[in-house]
Structure 1
Amino acid sequence: MHVLSRYWGQNWLITPAALAVNEQPPDVYEQRWLLVLTGVVDASIQGNSPHQWLHDTVSFLPDTISPLNYAIDHYGIPRPATSGSLAFSVDQWAPFASLSSIFDAGPSDNAGFAVDVWRPTSFTEVGDAVTGQVVGNIFGGIDVDVAVRDSDAWIYRIGYSITLLGRIVFTPQIP
């Protein structure tokens, strides 16, 4: 598995999630948010054979802190005194990843490129500085299974769009 961290572009949108008809407004810390993350990440994976597919998994975590800070500042959400960092607890999600740039250096000898499947990186748990409770389903990125065939073929970049519905979690300061 390769952890990717070089981005060609990152974009985000964050907005409060609408309430259902007759739903009571939540406490400010229980507000649900729609967070959309899009962009392109550098993969740089080279095939190693004209006869077999090279299968690999790449993992990456787009910037979530910037949109969370924006929402907190824009909507005037009070930061707890014991808050050290931020996280996003996911209720629902819809990810997508695809090839964004490929290259085959020489004559193509049965070259091939694929994004086979994507899934969340394992969700984690954190402490909530507001409630003191453990909160699960913390977004930690996306894992993408890719494949490339031909010894001079490259998957250079992967495009992604990740839509998340959940809430902002203030995590306690670490002593």
Structure 2
Amino acid sequence: MAYLCNLGNGQQVFIDNQDNQTIVTLTGTQAGQQQQSSSGFSTGKWTALPILYRNAGGFILRVESDRGPHYVQLQGSSLSAIATAPNLESAEVIAMQATETPPRATMEPMKPMEPIKPMEPIKPMKMGDMEMRMNPMEMRMGNMSMSMGESTPSYRQNFCPQCGAPVKENDRFCANCGDRLS
């Protein structure tokens, strides 16, 4: 027969005797995470029901077997055997319930995480008669303006708008009429 006890704070302890081994499993469920640690202790076959105590240092499990008493310290998410009998006079006895269900079946499933929301575009910044936009980069102050990058692509013509003569992409002036190219 196995035993289960709710320790509070989303933690449970599951205790089982399999042949000469006492298996102690701690499970914990908190927002966004589940933890489980399990240890086996060579105790022999149980001769009495296990007893769980709560003291200032955490929880202590007492297992009475054909080899004598054994003690296991449960503190946070760790389990460790205690070599000498602890003083349990002022400790509180915690009730355990008989169960056949291992702790994995009693844990609540984790809630799925929400997807990350995309960032909102940066809004134009305004202060008095000054305005700044990020895409494309534009800044205006009074009747002055500056921009970097273009929101709509511009195409340069391959001929002079004044005389119609062919021009190269890097020409600043028309070689035929001398007109300034934009």
Q: TM-score, normalised by structure 1?
A: 0.22
Q: Which has the larger radius of gyration?
A: 2
More strand by share: 1
More helix by share: 1
Q: TM-score, normalised by structure 2?
A: 0.22
**Greater relative contact order (CA < 8 Å, ≥ 6 in sequence):** 1
